[in-house]
Amino acid sequence: MFGLLPNVGMPELMLILALALIIFGPGKLPEVGRAVGKSIKEFKGAMNKVEKEIADPLNEKE
């Protein structure tokens, strides 16, 4: 279903969301969601940068 969490189905996702709601409450949940989304976006960007840095020298040799 998700690239980072390939084995998470709908029941597991609902459980995670319910636990997040209980732990953080309805007021903080949007803020936590934004922070998690931003972190994932930055992580993916860093991974793409590293992959590009590795692939560019390899492609130049060909």
pLDDT tens-digit readout, 27-56: 998 898 899 899 999 999 999 999 988 888
24 contact partners, CB below 8 Å, separation of at least 6: 32
Single out the residue of 48, 60, 35, 33 nearest to residue 3, CA to CA. Answer: 48
Q: Is the model's pTM score more than 0.75? A: no
User: What are the extents of the domains in the chain?
Assistant: 27-62
pLDDT at position 29, please? 87
The pLDDT of residue 62 is above 70: no
Question: Is 1 within 8 Å of 8 (Cβ atoms)?
Answer: yes
The pLDDT of residue 13 is above 80: yes
